[in-house]
Structure 1
């Protein structure tokens, strides 16, 4: 079952159900697929972005990363089963990958972030097979040679799960353009997760995560990078949800 929030069809699955479906597909599926973890920023971005909407339409799973989506679902007189945070999903899938001997590739992040995340995760899970990390240079998306290098590294490594930390919507665009040719069973865009796992960026205390204030903590930590997303984007998201609730806008 799916819940429509401002035109985004979100799967009504809890965290463990999402993990189960991803692992099941990796183990038995042959067709490459990708998972989307929307937040309020994504909802705002796709309103006038046909490419982003198509990316969502073709996704294997669309799961709510932001607590704001849980609140929106309740306001729209529906419900979601809980938050599926991208960083938590990243860490949980790596733990399972270690148990089931699945191969992982980390693409993106700030310089050094994916390597540090690899070290942290391999120390935590000695059997984990992280078969590659790569941090492309700024502007790589317009450099054909660099794009070819990235694809070559991933195809050579043959991972079972590809985690992409390039920020939105860049990571989604790249996944959408490349997931079929890479032939990786599951690709997931996870934003700043490499930095959070490696402690390059501090994560909000657990009480703030549970109370829906993680966005505020991130704004305090990185105000110059995130002020537009939260100060401008969050009110826009609220306005979109309000219009859907009162029937001014019908999202399909």
Structure 2
């Protein structure tokens, strides 16, 4: 079941349920699919990008990556059961992949981030089969030869799970345009998770993650890159949620 949050349909599932659905599909079904992990920034992008919206509408799963989305769903009376954080999803899926013998491929991230993340995860889970990592060069999305080479690398590695860390909306565009070509059972957009898992970028303390302050920690860590997203974006997100709440309230009064 999906709820409507500012015009975006989001699955009402927990992290464990998301992992089970993804793993079961990877094991039992060769039909390629992809998963998106929206946060407040995605919600804003989706307001004005019809192609991005189309990508979301056709996703296998749409899971709430940000705590603000959970809070917004509670305000709107359509509570999500909890946050399905992209980094947590990445780590948990790698753990289960090691247990079930699933092959994984890491695409994107900053230079060396995917390699470092893979090594760390293999130290935690010695049976994890990482069949490839690749960091595409800047501007790869407009280089047809590079796009063909990326697809060839992935097809040759034949992973069950492809983790795509290219940032939004680039990673979603790439998955949508290529998931059928590469034939991977499940591709998952996970933003900057390779950097967080590898330690190249520090992750917020658990208490900040749980209280919805991870955005503030990330802003302090990378102010030049993220100030516009959070300082301008957060109030806009709050306004969209308030507008939906007001519309719902007025509709209930007149019905």
The residue correspondences of 1:1-252 to structure 2 (distance < 5 A) are 1-247=1-247
Distance 1:192 1:153 in 2: 21
- Report the TM-score when normalising by structure 2: 0.96
Deviations 1:12-47 (A, max 9, x none): 111111111111101111210011111000000011
Q: CA deviation at 1:75?
A: 1.1
- 5+ residue gaps, structure 2: 251-255
Distance 1:132 1:9 in 2: 32
| Segments of 4+ moved more than 6 angstroms | none
Distance 2:78 2:238 in 1: 16
- Report the TM-score when normalising by structure 1: 0.97
Distance 1:112 1:122 in 2: 15
For the residue of structure 2 that corresponds to 1:18, the secondary structure is helix
Distance 1:222 1:160 in 2: 33
Aligned residues: 250
Distance 1:72 1:231 in 2: 18
For the residue of structure 1 that corresponds to 2:35, the secondary structure is strand
For the residue of structure 2 that corresponds to 1:4, the secondary structure is strand
Distance 2:150 2:30 in 1: 22
For the residue of structure 2 that corresponds to 1:180, the secondary structure is helix
Distance 2:47 2:179 in 1: 23
Distance 1:175 1:228 in 2: 26
Deviations 1:123-181 (A, max 9, x none): 11111000000000000001111111110100000000000001111111100110011
Distance 1:229 1:173 in 2: 20
Distance 1:59 1:78 in 2: 20
Q: CA deviation at 1:3?
A: 1.0
Q: CA deviation at 1:78?
A: 1.7
For the residue of structure 2 that corresponds to 1:247, the secondary structure is helix
- 5+ residue gaps, structure 1: none
For the residue of structure 2 that corresponds to 1:45, the secondary structure is helix
